[in-house]
Amino acid sequence: VLMDLHAGQIQGYFDIPVDHLSAIKHLAEYFKTLNLEDVVVVSPDLGGVTRARNFANELDAPIAIIEKRRPKPNVSEVMNVIGDVEGKTCILVDDIIDTAGTICHAAEYLTEKGGAKKVYGCATHGVLSGPAVERLISSKLEEFVITDTIPLNIGNVTDKIKVVSIADQLAKAIERIHNNESISSIFD
């Protein structure tokens, strides 16, 4: 049982059955509770457009895409925003946050050059290595929401980072697999 693979093709490397789950619905449910207005879901790169579209469908919101380049590892530069973000509340959605450089640069670009009113961020997997927590705390992000796929050791450092549990989804999948039942209902 896997959660939000970075690339779906990874499933092909297993010689056992693989069930690939997604945290998109859990993350979207959190944002629905905030009652945000004029929301635009933003993909931080071209590779995350499908993820952003799925998230946007859950919120009934349009999407925008950040065009970026990586001049060297763990360094990203925003080149352009495709879509309308001016005066909007943006939600950046990603699968993995390692050093948080990309999402923090994207939030800065959206507010300072894109004219976004507010920017939130979310991701499934929070590696949060090196300066990630400090970057998130000092970023333009209103909040950063992460799931509990990777245990976080940040304690009560900040209220800016929220954790959404996907334990119930994993438990349902494991139970259904154990009982030889279909897990397709989990995706509905």
Tell me: the pLDDT tens digits for 17-40?
Answer: 888 889 999 999 999 999 999 999
What pLDDT score was predicted for residue 73? 73
Q: Are residues 79 and 124 in the same domain?
A: yes
Task: Report the pLDDT averaged over residues 52-71.
Answer: 92
Q: Are residues 93 and 150 in the same domain?
A: yes
What pLDDT score was predicted for residue 69? 75
The domain total for the chain is: 2
Catalytic residues: 68
| Residues 101-127 as b or e (16 or more Cβ within 10 Å = b) | bbbbbbbbbbbeebebbbbbbbbbbbe
DSSP, collapsed to helix, strand or coil, labels residue 119 as strand
What pLDDT score was predicted for residue 2? 86
- Per the structure, the complete domain to which residue 101 belongs is given by 24-165
